[in-house]
Amino acid sequence: MRLKRQLSQEEIADLIGMTQSTYSRKEKGVTNITMQEWIKIAKVLAVEKDEIYQASISKKDIFKVFENLNIPPEFLEKINFLQKENFELQEKLRILQK
């Protein structure tokens, strides 16, 4: 939704009262977004919170699910790498579109 609204991480971070680096970690799922932050983000994006809200699931919990499916660890590592690469490419694309 942030990208759809053509807002940079820095712009939205300023609008909700945090640093860009903190917002980036939250957007990537490295740290959790609090309910109060979800509300602020929704207000900035002019949407209902439920439209953007995603329950926090730790990477540890995600890996437990995959472990139960007997997915080889090298596949999980590749998935993690591709997720990071995808995020970085989305950011580069956003910058190029500006």
Domain boundaries, the chain: 1-54, 57-98
Q: Which of 9-13, 53-57, 72-76, 93-97 has the lowest mean pLDDT?
A: 53-57
**Distance from CA of residue 2 to its chain's centroid?**
10
For residue 34, the SS3 value is coil
Whether the CB-CB separation of 49 and 34 falls below 8 Å is answered with no
Residue matched to tokens 């609204």:
5
Which parts of the chain fold into alpha helices (H)? 9-16, 20-28, 35-45, 49-52, 59-68, 73-97
The per-residue pLDDT for 87 is 86
The per-residue pLDDT for 44 is 93
> Which numeric CATH code is attached to 1-54?
1.10.260.40
Nearest C-alpha neighbor of 3 from the set 71, 69, 87, 76: 87
pLDDT at 12 over 70: yes
Q: How many CA atoms lie within 13 A of 92 on its CB side?
A: 6
The per-residue pLDDT for 66 is 64
Residues 69-91: what's their mean pLDDT?
84
The per-residue pLDDT for 93 is 87
> Bigger pLDDT: 45 or 55?
45
